[in-house]
Structure 1
Amino acid sequence: MMEAALGVAIVPSLAASMLSDTLTLVPLRPRLERRLVLTGPTTRPWHPNVTAIRDLCEQHGALTPAG
């Protein structure tokens, strides 16, 4: 619908790679941020997907240890 110039849509920036070259993302203000809380069992390993998200957060300095 957006390519047909029938309106606007609010989409996350993660969708940018899926947009055609005829569409443009315009950031909204104010910018919203979310807090992601990762938790898992203490008696067995976490699910590999949770571990991967945790590792990405650590690499980008976005992880704050619980305290």
Structure 2
Amino acid sequence: MSIDNPNTEFTVVINDQEQYSIWPTYHSVPAGWQEVGVTGNKEHCLAHIKTTWTDMRPKSLKDALLSE
């Protein structure tokens, strides 16, 4: 069982499908993801995602529905 270190700093990242995640700042952000400019502890980053990512559908699906 893994326990999160409460001192770990995270950054909020987004991919080209406008899906959000958090990533520890001591690791490089993986290919296909970019930082959005929000860093902090896990709770802070997840709170930002909760208020920002209100439509969980991938961008490709939203775009397809708009073009119908």
TM-score w.r.t. structure 1 length? 0.20
Which protein is bigger by CA-based radius of gyration?
1
The structure with more strand, counted as a fraction of residues? 2
TM-score w.r.t. structure 2 length? 0.20
Tell me: higher relative CO, structure 1 or 2? Use CA pairs within 8 A at least 6 residues apart. 2
